């Protein structure tokens, strides 16, 4: 990402330019006016057990989407609003500009693909399951809409799922046809064919190679090219069988941190409830907007944001498929809407600071600009046209294309310092929300103009939220703390063919128990403070929530990843830490003269291990951790925990049991030393 952060050196600024900027700053614009009173963002439902609801006025549905009841109708709505403007864009090669399909193009292609699926033997009904095993691309979107035009159900296979999980999904959902983008994925399926009784046909987006054809022949699987499927439908048109509001749109398998995947049943009604409620709050999205699509479409977050764009007539530009070239794609696309996750935003923050800190002069002037923008934020002023923006931040803003007006972040907490920093630097709305696959992606969301940090906003207008007591963790609803429980139209229908797991997450009154711990703040917004599911007890009887500790420790400049471990046979905590290579290398050279050392070599140096331990413990004290919540020993590991090595889920969550098993010997050794 370095090459995209070559913004002008602050040392080139003149005193006159700074004086001009100072004058302009005194002519600040009016603060942003939110749609609700930010001191009163949710209300307690009268006569009920502290259940909270939105205070959004019912008349504020700015997208006028009351006539949309399905995701197929949502595309029709977008086509009408945009007068069949651009819908799907992609780059044919790394040096090419974006090529676009209009709304009408996509509707025609989707109808043909749907008719082609029927000609291949797929029944146009809501019991027909179509698998898709692909990265984000226009074909993925077209297949999805084809399903909705003919009442079928889409079932994504995660790009990062192993063969066992893919086999399980195909068998459980009795999928007979899967659409693949690459020969590599086709081969993954065909090599497991003996375990997939239902699989008969694979539609491939690229030309099959000789190995694929050989495997297909030996396994009896029919391979059809995507363009052949579309042509087949064009030559054999079929009357549309549009989905209904209550129909299932997708069965979204969540990989989870343990066990086999669970298929969350998502409906058109549920997805639209979440989307329309969110667009009422994020009312700035319209036909002129374009988003970059790079987060996995197999997950609900990316899908949710896409629906927000096309229901408003906006455009979706797909990344080229290589995350390393994402910033190239962004530079060419110049998106106005940028859905993101903390991991990427943290990386962006680190790279900006690395450039700034390369010079004392740059650092000084940059901090002046940052302070001025932060002062405006405190007064509710958010902009990217101040003199500070023109002189200091403009080149940084160009790294996201230069016209970003909204960044959304979810899936994990974003550090308050990073959130505040990026709001200042990019001068655009950056809002956090909270939700799960089981809530169709979201149930709370910050209002535009709410400059708070560390909160996830009030309930959406489609959701009711209450907090349930967790006595063993000393959280009680009477003190406005407890497990987050949700009801509303955006709640999923249960887990596919898994009544046991469904009953585990719903109580007898129909509340979805999320497993996350929240706190109501005085202004009616929610703050995520803990996680219930992963708690464990130490030998002295103290309960530990490791994710709360990890969220504090991860703020250390030395830490790229950290895992906290403990159990009922031990009286203290230990941790596995993957250091930030760039930070640790510079620190080791400056403090101990260790030049050109690998991470593996630095991880063996007891001085560096002690310094990192001291730093995280210091952060723990600042974060008000109790002494028994502080880690007593760390093992430094040189390689990142990733999806590929099986230690992270496809949504970047830690597989806690797998991590503990992987580092069993290191954990055992730390306890042996501590217990001597």
In degrees, to the nearest 5, what angle opens at C-alpha 167 toward C-alphas 245 and 221?
95
What's the CA gap between 27 and 383, in Å, rounded?
A: 13
pLDDT above 50 for 190: yes
What's the CA gap between 298 and 178, in Å, rounded?
A: 14
What does the pLDDT look like over 442-464, one tens digit per residue?
Answer: 999 999 999 998 899 999 999 99
pLDDT given at position 160: 61
pLDDT given at position 606: 92
What's the CA gap between 125 and 127, in Å, rounded?
A: 5
Indicate the SS3 state at residue 173: coil
pLDDT above 60 for 62: no
pLDDT, average across residues 328-333: 95
pLDDT above 80 for 121: yes
> Residue 133 — very low, low, confident or very high, per pLDDT cuts 50/70/90?
very high
Cβ-proximal residues to 312 (8 Å cutoff; 6+ apart), any chain: 63, 78, 81, 279, 285, 286, 287, 289
Kind of pairing between the strands at 153-156 and 429-434: unpaired
CA distance to 254, 433, 592, per residue, from 282 (Å):
27, 11, 50
What does the pLDDT look like over 417-437, one tens digit per residue?
Answer: 889 999 999 999 999 999 999
Residue 205 and residue 183 in contact, taking contact as beta carbons nearer than 8 Å? no
User: Which domains, from first to last, does the chain contain?
Assistant: 94-284 (3.40.50.12780), 341-531 (3.40.50.12780), 536-675 (3.30.300.30)
What's the CA gap between 23 and 33, in Å, rounded?
A: 24
pLDDT above 70 for 161: no
Task: Choose among 348, 573, 555, 571: nearest CA to 563.
Answer: 573
Higher pLDDT among residues 561 and 165, named by residue: 561
pLDDT, average across residues 68-75: 97
What's the CA gap between 618 and 607, in Å, rounded?
A: 16
pLDDT given at position 13: 44
Average pLDDT value for the chain: 89
Higher pLDDT among residues 161 and 563, named by residue: 563
pLDDT above 80 for 9: no
Percent pLDDT > 90 in the chain is 67
pLDDT given at position 15: 44
- Tell me the two tokens of residue 72: 């197929």
Lowest-confidence segment of 5-19, 91-105, 357-371, 617-631 by average pLDDT = 5-19
pLDDT above 50 for 619: yes
Quote the DSSP letter at residue 206.
Answer: S
Residue-wise DSSP of 602-619: HHT-HHHHHHHHHHHHHH
pLDDT above 90 for 496: yes
Lowest-confidence segment of 160-169, 217-226, 398-407, 483-492 by average pLDDT = 160-169
Indicate the SS3 state at residue 512: strand
């Amino acid at each position: 990402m370095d090459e995209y952060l070559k913004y002008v050196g602050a040392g080139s600024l003149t005193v006159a330019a700074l004086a001009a900027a100072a004058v302009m700053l005194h002519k600040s614009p009016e603060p942003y006016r939110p749609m609700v009173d930010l001191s009163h963002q949710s209300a307690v439902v009268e006569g009920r057990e502290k259940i909270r609801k939105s205070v959004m006025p019912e008349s504020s549905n700015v997208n006028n989407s009351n006539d949309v009841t399905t995701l197929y109708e949502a595309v029709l709505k977008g086509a009408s609003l945009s007068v069949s403007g651009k819908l799907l864009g992609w780059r044919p090669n790394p040096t090419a500009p974006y090529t676009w399909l209009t709304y009408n193009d996509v509707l025609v292609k989707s109808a043909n693909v749907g008719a082609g699926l029927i000609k291949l033997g797929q029944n146009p009904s809501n019991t027909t399951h179509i698998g898709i095993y692909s990265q984000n691309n226009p074909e993925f979107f077209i297949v999805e809409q084809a399903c909705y035009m003919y009442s079928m159900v889409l079932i994504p296979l995660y790009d990062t799922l192993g063969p066992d999980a893919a086999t399980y999904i195909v068998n459980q959902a009795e999928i007979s046809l899967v659409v693949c983008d690459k020969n590599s994925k086709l081969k993954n399926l065909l090599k497991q064919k003996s375990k997939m009784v239902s699989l008969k046909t694979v539609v491939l987006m690229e030309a099959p190679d000789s190995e694929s054809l050989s495997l297909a022949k030996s396994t009896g699987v029919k391979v059809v090219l995507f363009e052949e499927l579309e042509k087949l439908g064009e030559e054999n048109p079929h009357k549309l069988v549009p989905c209904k509001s209550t129909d299932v749109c997708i069965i979204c398998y969540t990989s989870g941190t343990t066990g086999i995947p669970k298929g969350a049943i998502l409906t058109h009604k549920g997805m639209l409830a979440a989307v329309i409620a969110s667009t009422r709050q994020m009312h700035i999205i319209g036909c002129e907007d374009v988003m970059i699509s790079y987060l996995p479409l197999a997950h609900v977050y990316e899908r949710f944001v896409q629906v927000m764009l096309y229901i408003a007539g906006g455009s979706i530009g797909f990344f080229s498929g290589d995350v390393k070239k994402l910033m190239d794609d962004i530079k060419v696309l110049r998106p106005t809407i940028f859905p993101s996750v903390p991991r990427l935003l943290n990386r962006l923050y680190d790279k900006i600071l690395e450039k700034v800190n390369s010079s004392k002069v740059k650092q000084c002037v940059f901090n002046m600009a940052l302070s001025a923008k932060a002062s405006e934020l405190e007064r509710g002023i958010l902009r990217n046209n101040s003199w500070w923006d023109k002189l200091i931040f403009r080149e940084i803003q160009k790294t996201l294309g230069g016209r970003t007006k909204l960044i959304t972040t979810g899936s994990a907490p974003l550090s308050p310092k990073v959130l505040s920093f990026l709001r200042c630097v990019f001068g655009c709305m950056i809002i956090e929300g909270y939700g799960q696959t089981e809530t169709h992606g979201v149930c709370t969301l910050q209002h535009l103009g709410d400059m708070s940090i560390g909160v996830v906003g009030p309930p959406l207008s489609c959701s009711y939220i209450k907090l349930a007591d967790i006595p063993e963790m000393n959280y009680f609803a009477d003190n406005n703390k407890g497990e987050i429980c949700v009801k509303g139209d955006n709640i999923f229908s249960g887990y596919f063919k898994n009544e046991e797991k469904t009953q585990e997450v719903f109580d007898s009154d129909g509340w979805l128990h999320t497993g996350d711990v929240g706190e109501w703040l005085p202004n009616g917004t929610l703050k995520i403070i803990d996680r219930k599911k992963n708690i464990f007890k130490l030998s002295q009887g103290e309960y530990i929530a490791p994710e709360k500790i990890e969220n504090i420790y991860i703020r250390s400049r030395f830490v790229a990843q950290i895992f906290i471990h403990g159990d009922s046979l031990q009286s203290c905590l230990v941790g596995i830490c993957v250091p930030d290579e760039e930070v640790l290398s510079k620190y080791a050279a400056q403090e101990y003269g260790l030049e050109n050392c690998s991470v593996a070599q630095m991880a063996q140096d007891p001085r560096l291990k002690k310094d990192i331990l001291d730093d995280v413990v210091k952060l723990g004290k600042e974060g008000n951790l109790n002494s028994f919540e502080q880690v007593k020993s760390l093992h430094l590991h040189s390689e990142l925990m990733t999806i590929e090595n099986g230690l992270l889920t496809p949504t970047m969550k830690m597989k806690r049991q797998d991590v503990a098993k992987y580092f069993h010997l290191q954990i055992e050794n730390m306890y042996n030393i501590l217990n001597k």
